[in-house]
Structure formats: C-alpha cells, structure tokens
Amino acid sequence: MRRGEALAAWMLTLPAALAFLLLLLAPTLAAIALAFSDYELGVWPPHWIGLDNFREMWTDRGFRTSFVNTLVYVAIVAPVSVAGGLGLALLIEGAARGRTIFRAIFFLPVVSLTVAMAAAWQYLLHPTIGPVNAVLRAVGIAGPAWLSSSDTVLLSLAAIGIWESIGFNMVLFMAGLTAIPRELREAAAVDGARAAWDRFRLVTWPLLGPTALFVVVISLIRSVRVFDTVAVLTRGGPNKASEVLLYTMYTEGFTFLRLGYSAAITLVFLVIVLGLMLVQTRILDRRVHYG
Amino acid sequence: MSGLVIDSVRKAFGATQVLHGVSLSVRPGEFVALLGPSGCGKSTLMRIIAGIDAPDAGRVIINDRDVTRAHPGARDVAMVFQNYALYPHLTVRQNIAVPLVMRRLSAWQRLPFLGGFAGAARRAIAADVERIAEPLGLAPLLDRRPAQLSGGQRQRVALARAVVRAPHVFLLDEPLSNLDAALRVTTRREIVDIHRRVGAASLYVTHDQSEALTMADRVAVMLGGRLLQCAAPADVYDRPANLDVARFIGSPAINLLPAEARDDGWVQLAGRATGLATAARGPLTLGVRPEAWRIGAGGWPARVEHTEFLGDGLLVHARLDDHAVLLRAEPDARIAVGDVLPIGFDPARALVFGADGARVAAVEPAHA
C-alpha cells in the first residue's frame, strides 16, 4: 500500500521533474561545463581549458566595457524605476479619481512587446525627424543623436528601460499600499503626524518594506538582463558604447560562434542574478517582516 | 465651556444620511458612553470628533476652540481604535512614544526615528513612556513588538499610547470588542481608572449596554443617526426618553404592552385597572421592566410558557392575554411551565409612553 502510494507520487511528479531536468538543469549544467572549454561551433572535440575563458574575460577590453556599461545601466534604471514607481503609486493612490486610467497608462509598457516599442522609440529619438529633438529645436536646443552618439546612447537606453519597468514597479507598490491597514494612517494622524511626509515615514514606508525589497531586487535583475532594446536599437554600438553583458554573450556565441567563451559570460551573469536573489531571501527572512 | 462640545453635526455618505444633527457635550473629567447598535452612526461621529472625517454641517469644539476643520493632530484628542492600530514595526516603547515624538521634537530631530540619538527631549520622552507604562503592567513588555503581545496587552499599549500626552479629549472606539468576555470585565475597570487619572473629557463608543451602564457617568443613546437621550445610567434605565430607548436599554428587554388612558386619566390594560394615572389620553404603551412585576394574590392570570434559571434569579416567559411577558422572579420561586401566576406591577416602576413614543409622566392614584 505504502509502496503503491510512493510509486503513484513518483509517477505524478515525473512530468514536472523531467521537464525541470531536461529544460532547466541539463542546459544549465551544460553551459557551466562549456564555460571551462574552448568549444566553438564546428570545431570538435572541445578541450578542457580550465579558467582560461575567465582569464581572457579579465583582460578582454570588450568584456570590461560591456560589464561597466551594464553596471551603469543598472545604476540608473533600478533606482529611478523603483523611486518613480513608488512615487507614481503614492500619487495614484492619493488621487480622488482616475486611478484605473492612470494605472492602465503606466502599466501599458509592461504588457507591450519591447521589440515593437523599440521601433517607436527609434522614431521618437531620431536625430532629425524625431519628435524629441523637434521639441528641443523649438526651444532652441540642438538635440543630440540620441541612439547613435556614444555619449548619449546608454542614457537613452536607460530612459527606455525606466519607461518599461516603472509601471511594473508602480503596480507592485500599489498592491503593497492596499495591504496597509487604513487605521494605521488614521492613528498616525491622530498621534500628531500632520505632514504627509511624517505619515509616510511612520507608517507607509516601514509597512511597505517587504514590497520595497522585492521591487528593488526584481528591478536589479530586470535591468541586469537588458538585451532586446540593445539588440534592436543599437547592436552594442556605436563603438561598443552600448555593449551590455547579455548582448556580448549573444554576439560571442551566435556571431563569432565561440560558445565556450559565451558560456563563461553566461556564468558570470548567472552568478550576479543568483547573488541578488540570495540577498533578497536572506534579508526578507530577517529584517522586513514584523512577525 | 472647556471639554468637548459637538454642535448639530450632520453627515451623509452619498444619499444615506448618517448623522441627523447630533449635539452632545462632555465636560473635562467626565466619562460619557455613546451607546447604539451597529450602523447607528456612533463611529462616524467619533471619527468626525477625531478629525478623520469631516462633517457636512455643524461644529466640533474642543477646549473652547472650534476645531471642525483642524487636522486630527492639532485637536488635542487621543483615540483608541477598535483593533488598536499599533505600529507593527515599532516596539511597545516606540509605539507609546509616537504622540510625544510627533509633538515635542522638530522635524529634523525626528529624522533618525528608530535610532537612539539622545538629547534632553528624548530623555524626557523616555521617562514619560515608562511612567505611563508602569501602572498598566507594560514595563516588562516595552521592548517587544505588537505581534509578540496578547490581545489584552495590545489593548493596554493602545491605551497607553492614547493617554501618554494627557489629551484634552479621550476617544475610545469599542476598545473591548476584540477581547474575550472575562478580560472585558476586568478591563472596564482599568479603562475607568485610566480615565480618572488623566482627567480628560472621555467619549466611549460601544454597542454593549452593560459597558455603557457600568462605566459611564452619562450614557448617550444613539439610534438611526439621532441622539435620543443623554443622561446618567440610572436615568436612562429608569426614565427612558422614549420607546426606542426603553426597548434598546435593559437586558432582558422591557415588556411593552398596549394600554389605554380613559378620559379621567386612569390607565387600563385590556380593560383592567392598573392603578396608574396619566395626563395623556387615548392609546398608550405601558412599559414594565421584568423585575418590576410582582407575583401575588389579586394579580392578573399569566400562563407560564418557559423558564430560564439565571443563578441570581428566574426568568419567566409567560402569556398575559395575547401578550408575551417576561418577568423576573426569585431564584427559589417554585414556578413550572403551565402554571398560572397572578401577576401585577408596582405603579411607581411602570413607564407610560404616549402615542408618539415619548414617555409621559405617570402619576400615582393619590395625585390623580
């Protein structure tokens, strides 16, 4: 009877377990193994080269540029989209009417296809026919070539990144806000927290803690993952000014067919993302819950 | 007049008129219970006094100052919320300190709110917190968070937070409703003690008449958004202003029997003389509390349908003519279902209500 039950349990778990093994675990392990090889598509057999790929990365100026660019991108997009998402959530929450429409407007970028939206951005930011520069010209400023100048390309991509994720963060914060008991804000008002800022400090922000941590980590991970806008709009250019981690991985692997090196870059990316998730679960368990 | 004055406050939510011009005053040191069933508007009135909601019309005056449009934090009111509304991320000590921190420290002094940055003002706050926590038995709990406390302890923290800055007006919104029955009785006493110590004008919202009658100096009975009577507990019980109050106050409920006043003023119950006379004429309602009935020779025949033993008494459900009557007998009374008891009532303890529902003075036969 017990054996039968155990067997049934295994049988029922099998499809999911198989899918996990074949689609997640095996490719990840393969990528990790490849990272320590010199495998190139068409050159067989690959050789075990130990840490050579990582050594190369260390000295590769292209990779370093890409790594620094990713950091800069994350350093702009994550804080601005978190703070902006919170600001929007508070504004919309406090609005007397039109909450639904504003929520929909700001959430729109999240549900729209980035690649399609990238075309729209390309037009908006076009140096001669783009509306952005048209507006700038109207006030007497000569707008830069947003996506084709190495000074502004990363900033432009960051702006698009912010536009993409601010609505997502806003919705998460709004969910967090509705979970705060109304009595607490009322109690804060009666207790003498007269300024909105005081009530925010006393009640809203501390009780939003778990949500805020989640939003921060999700935003970091989402911005480290930046790829499609780069691939569609700039292809890492001009002059590698918009090379980012995943785009470098993609060109090394699929343009130069150096799958071993590409896998090594993937591994670096994986470590960053896992590290962020670890930080989240650790802090989440300890600090921001008032159990 | 200092204390709390509410002057013809009206409030509607959409098409629903919740408060129909309520006026009430509470003197400093006085404890008034605002008693009414749920949905009668008593919580709305309390929120208007606290400044959480604004009235459509009328004024709220606290300590001779019109605060109708003032921010809750600028009214000198403190409030105990029904579910305590403690800040879950702060310790008991920090929770109690909040009203003091908000009032005594400037915005920049407050910035490191959770830090322990010293200063004379912060030391004074710490001392005040401990002074208020001690008599409430909270001293050993000061460094816990609300989630680590029992319901009764949380309730005391909410009380401490409310009174720590000695408010002029002290509002309590059903503070006992989340406690179990035994704790409720002991906490009643604690709340009255705290009220006496603080000496504020206290307004206590409740739907539980036993709380209102046992704790308050005066009971304000509110029904359907109107204040029907505001008087000492004994007056509300013995001399209710009208039928609604009489019906609402008293458990078990008052007996209300249709009666009639003859042209000479004598009140008759189904053609029987009651020994009561009144200035009113025509159809009346006669109110007799269950304990005002007397069982004895010469009474009207009432058939016993059911009895309930209460320990200190026996509640008898009987039928007089077509009317169900409740009477309270001595616990050792030998009364069985099916008995026919001769019952009557003490005319001095009976209440007479006119056709409009208002109580009319009854006069004893000698004065008629």
For the stretch A252-276, pLDDT in tens is 888 888 888 888 888 888 888 899 8
CATH number at residue A260: 1.10.3720.10
The kind and range of the H/E element at B320 are strand B314-320
Let me know if residue B164 belongs to a domain: yes
> Residue A291 pLDDT more than 90?
no
Q: Is residue A212 assigned to a domain?
A: yes
pLDDT at residue A143 greater than cutoff 80: no
Residue B210 and residue B89 in one domain: yes
Q: What is the pLDDT of residues A1-12, one digit of tens each?
A: 678 889 999 999
| Same-domain pairing of B300 and B212 | no
Q: Give the range of the structural domain holding residue A249, as residue numbers without chain letter.
A: 29-286
Question: For tokens 């056709």, what's the residue?
Answer: B355
Which among A181, A183, A193 has the least Cβ separation from residue B102? A193
Whether A181 sits inside 8 A of B85 (CB atoms) is yes
- Whether A8 is covered by a domain: the verdict is no
Split into its structural domains, chain B has a count of 2
User: B342 in contact with A at a CB cutoff of 8 Å?
Assistant: no
Q: What are A36-71's pLDDT values in tens digits?
A: 888 877 777 877 787 778 888 888 888 888 888 899
- B303 forms beta bridges with B319, B340
Those residues of chain A whose CB sits closer than 8 Å to some CB in chain B are 181, 183-184, 186-195, 198, 201-203, 206-207, 209, 290-291
Judge whether A225 lies within some domain.
Answer: yes
Distance from CA of A103 to the nearest CA of B (A): 26
Q: pLDDT tens digits for A180-236?
A: 888 898 999 998 888 888 888 889 988 898 888 889 988 998 888 888 888 888 887
- Give the residue on A whose Cα is nearest the Cα of B149: A291
**What's phi and psi for B82, nearest 5 deg?**
-55, -45
Whether A14 maps to a domain, the answer reads no
Whether residue A144 is preceded by a cis peptide bond, meaning omega within 30 degrees of 0, is: no
Chain B residues whose CB is inside 8 A of the A189 CB are 51-52, 71-73
DSSP state of B349: G
Do B79 and A190 make contact, defined as CB atoms within 8 angstroms? Answer: yes
B79 interface with A at CB cutoff 8 Å? yes
Q: What is the pLDDT of residue B368?
A: 42
The pLDDT value given to residue B118: 52
Which of A185, A190, A203, A211 to mutate: most B Cβ within 10 Å?
A190
Relative to beta strand B272-278, strand B340-345 is: unpaired
CA distance B12 to chain A (A): 18
Residue B39's pLDDT is 84
Q: Is B48 on the interface with A (CB under 8 A)?
A: no
Residue A30 has a pLDDT of 87
Q: What is the largest CA-CA distance in chain B?
A: 82
End position of a domain, from candidates B221, B241, B261: B241
- Domain end point (choices B210, B241, B272): B241
Question: Containing domain of residue B296, as a range?
Answer: 252-367
Q: Do B100 and B213 fall into the same domain?
A: yes
Chain centroid to Cα A53, Å, comes to: 26
Q: Which of B47, B88, B102 is closest, CB to CB, to A191?
A: B102
Residue B246 lies in a domain: no
Look at residue B115 in the predicted model and tell me its pLDDT.
Answer: 47
pLDDT score at B112? 57
From the list B52, B82, B103, the residue facing A189 with the nearest CB is B52
DSSP state of B138: -
CATH of the domain at B341: 2.40.50.140
Q: Is residue A44 part of a domain?
A: yes
Question: Which of A188, A193, A206 has its CB closest to that of B89?
Answer: A206
How many domains is chain A partitioned into structurally? 1
Q: Which of B248, B338, B252, B246 is nearest to B290 (CA)?
A: B252
Is residue B59 in a domain? yes
* pLDDT bracket for residue A289 (50, 70, 90): low
Those residues with Cβ within 8 angstroms of residue A37's Cβ, 6 or more apart along the chain or in another chain: A46, A47, A48, A49, A260, A263
- Position B282, amino acid: G
Do B72 and B189 fall into the same domain?
yes
Pairing of strands B169-173, B77-80: parallel
Tokens of B191: 């709340």
The residues, ordered by sequence, that sit 6+ positions from B168 with a Cβ below 8 Å of its Cβ are B2, B3, B4, B28, B62, B63, B76, B77, B200, B201
Last residue in a domain, options B214, B241, B268: B241
Taking CB atoms and an 8 Å limit, are B89 and A190 in contact across chains? no
**So what's the ipTM on this one?**
0.81
Q: What's residue A290's pLDDT?
A: 57
What value does the mean pLDDT take over residues A106-131? 83
- Output the pLDDT for position A256: 83
The one-character DSSP state at B358 is B
Q: Which residues does chain B have within 8 Å of residue A213's beta carbon, measured at their own beta carbons?
A: none
C-alpha distances in Å from residue A208, one per residue of A173, A239, B117: 8, 42, 25
Residues B354 and B280 in one domain: yes
Please report residues of A whose CB lies closer than 8 A to that of B47.
Answer: 186
Could you tell me the mean pLDDT of each successive run of 10 residues in chain B, 368 residues long?
A: 88 91 93 91 92 92 91 90 90 90 77 58 85 87 90 90 90 88 87 90 92 93 92 93 92 90 85 83 90 86 92 91 90 88 87 89 60
- φ, ψ of residue A19 to 5 degrees: the values are -60, -45
Does B181 lie at the interface with A, CB-CB under 8 angstroms? Answer: no
In a domain, B30, yes or no: yes
Q: What is the pLDDT of residue B353?
A: 92
- The verdict on a CB contact (< 8 Å) between B83 and A183 is yes
Which of A181, A188, A290 is nearest residue B147 as measured by Cβ atoms? A290
CA Rg value for chain A:
24
B237, B272: one domain: no
Examine the domain organization and report whether B234 and B207 are in the same domain. yes
Residue A229 lies in a domain: yes
Judgement on whether residues B101 and B226 belong to the same structural domain of the protein:
yes
**Is A17 domain-assigned?**
no
Sign, Cα dihedral of A25, A26, A29, A30: negative
Residues A202, B87: C-beta atoms closer than 8 Å: yes
| CATH number reported for the structural domain that contains residue B201 in this entry | 3.40.50.300
Q: Are residues B234 and B348 in the same domain?
A: no
Question: Does B107 contact A195 at a Cβ distance shorter than 8 Å?
Answer: yes
Residue A224 falls within a domain, yes or no? yes
Residues B340 and B256 both lie in one domain: yes
